[in-house]
């Protein structure tokens, strides 16, 4: 930055959109005789199930816990294999490991960054019990092909919607495609109540299993029909959402259209300013997708950029008080999964995208001037690393 340009205030990667509605909701619970899971959680579950278009919703302490409980409710355990993507939400693979199953990574589609159905099909083996697909960065996965694959091969299909609330595929809301679908309410999601998650389903037996495994709230039965025998012998987790978090979540759900619209405005600002980059392509949206609400504003650098060049751009942004991040971390290269035996280059598309993806600040509190500054700084940084200005969204 030149000496005659004033220093910028810190621009965070995410900044929750909290109004007086959320503050009032939390205050009312704090003044009530119950803070732990209670009637507000029940109201949040009902409202969220209606919003997504599912029959049941079970609120939990985090999206990661939700995925773990979803796998347990589906009967996935030791000796089973579960297909997922190496650039999926990291808690997905962790949950597979935590239930004693083996994650099997299938490469992703270059454009959507979600698991590629044809590549997932090649990973199905005798021990495969389930397939987990994610709506990565808000873009819905190829659900028609994934549902056909799961039905044809007899697999339980689970949906990771932790990054995609509000997006729609063929007119249907994300979260309505898996036998069990998981949402997360931590940052940087649009619906943020600090920490928390929810699992939705249309199957009453799966709903009962989830509630028993989560640990029932006060007033819920300790044993529910046929699910009691399925869950018997598995100690429940203390995994309920609190009434405080549920009150914030319920207030944000009441404002969800407003929250999504405010972020859509920021997306449009980015699209206008990003045109200063030569050779820019707009973010890809599949023809089958009705609506996308991005989780973060994601930039894919061209192949002339190396991972170290990507990291240098992030460092340059940090120097100007702009928080950016390497969006993806290929799980098959992490120490926790090296024992699975994946070789470098085996999941080529995932590795290519992971080396060149940058998440820029994306939240409703950004101004037009700040977005312009972020884009210009990123452009200057790309030139500074000697790779020119060919950046691809």
Q: Where are the beta strands (DSSP E) in 85-233?
A: 102-105, 128-134, 156-160, 168-169, 172-173, 180-184, 197-201
For 143, the token pair is 């659900």
What CA–CA distance (Å, rounded) separates 363 from 60? Answer: 25
3-state class percentages of the chain: helix first, strand second, coil last, to nearest 5: 40, 15, 45
Any idea how long the chain is? 393
Q: H-helix or E-strand containing 93? A: helix 90-98
pLDDT, residue 224, reads 41
pLDDT of residue 2: 43
Burial class of residue 207, CB neighbours in 10 A (0-12, 13-18, 19+): buried
Domains of the chain (ranges plus CATH)? 20-254 (3.40.640.10), 256-392 (3.90.1150.10)
The strands making up 289-291's β-sheet, listed across from edge to edge, are: 172-173, 168-169, 289-291
Chain segment 287-337, per-residue pLDDT in tens: 999 999 999 998 888 887 888 989 999 999 999 999 999 988 888 888 888
| d(C-alpha 65, C-alpha 95), whole Å | 8
Q: Where are the alpha helices (DSSP H) in 328-384?
A: 348-356, 368-384
Q: pLDDT per position in the chain (393 positions), as tens?
A: 444 445 568 999 999 999 999 999 888 988 887 777 778 999 999 999 999 999 999 999 999 999 999 999 999 999 999 999 998 888 899 999 999 999 999 999 999 999 999 999 999 999 999 999 999 999 999 999 999 999 999 999 999 999 999 999 999 999 999 999 999 999 899 999 989 999 999 999 999 999 999 986 544 444 444 444 444 467 788 899 999 999 999 999 999 999 999 999 999 999 999 876 654 456 789 999 999 999 999 888 888 788 898 999 999 999 999 999 998 888 888 888 888 988 888 899 999 999 888 999 999 999 999 999 999 999 888 888 865 545 555
**pLDDT reported for residue 232:** 46
Full-model pTM: 0.90
Model pLDDT for residues 174-183, shown as the tens digit of each residue: 999 999 999 9
């Amino acid at each position: 930055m030149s000496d005659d340009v004033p220093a910028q205030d810190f621009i965070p990667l995410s900044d929750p959109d909290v109004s007086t509605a959320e503050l009032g909701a939390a205050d009312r619970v704090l003044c009530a005789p119950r803070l732990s899971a209670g009637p507000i959680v029940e109201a949040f579950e009902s409202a969220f199930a209606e919003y997504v278009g599912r029959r049941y919703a079970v609120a939990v302490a985090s999206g990661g816990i939700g995925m773990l409980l979803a796998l347990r409710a589906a009967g996935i355990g030791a000796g089973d294999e579960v297909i997922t993507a190496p650039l999926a939400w990291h808690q997905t693979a962790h949950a597979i490991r935590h239930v004693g199953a083996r994650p099997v990574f299938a490469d992703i589609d270059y454009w959507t960054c979600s698991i590629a159905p044809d590549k997932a099909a090649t990973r199905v083996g005798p021990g495969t019990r389930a397939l987990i697909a994610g709506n990565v960065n808000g873009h819905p996965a190829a659900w028609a092909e994934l549902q056909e694959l799961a039905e044809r091969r007899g697999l339980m299909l689970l949906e990771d919607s932790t990054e995609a609330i509000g997006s729609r595929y063929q007119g249907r809301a994300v979260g309505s495609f898996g036998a069990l679908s998981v949402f997360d309410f931590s940052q940087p999601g649009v619906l943020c109540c600090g920490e928390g998650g929810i699992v939705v389903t249309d199957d009453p037996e799966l709903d009962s299993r989830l509630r028993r495994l989560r640990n029932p709230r006060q007033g819920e039965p300790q044993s529910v029909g046929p699910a009691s025998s399925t869950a018997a012998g598995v100690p429940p987790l203390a995994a309920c959402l609190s009434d405080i978090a549920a009150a914030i979540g319920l207030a944000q759900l009441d404002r969800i259209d407003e929250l999504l619209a405010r972020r859509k405005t920021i997306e449009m600002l980015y699209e206008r300013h990003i045109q200063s980059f030569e050779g820019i392509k707009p973010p890809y949206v599949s023809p089958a997708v009705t609506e996308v609400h991005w989780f973060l504003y994601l930039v894919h650098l061209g192949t002339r950029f190396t991972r170290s060049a990507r990291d240098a751009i992030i460092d340059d942004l940090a120097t100007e008080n702009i928080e950016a991040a390497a969006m993806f971390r290929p799980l098959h290269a992490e120490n926790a999964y090296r024992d699975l035996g994946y070789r470098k280059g085996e999941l080529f598309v995932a590795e290519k995208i992971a080396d060149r993806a940058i998440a820029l600040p994306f939240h409703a509190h950004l101004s037009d001037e700040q977005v312009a500054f972020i884009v210009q700084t990123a452009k200057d940084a790309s030139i500074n690393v000697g790779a020119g200005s060919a950046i691809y969204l």
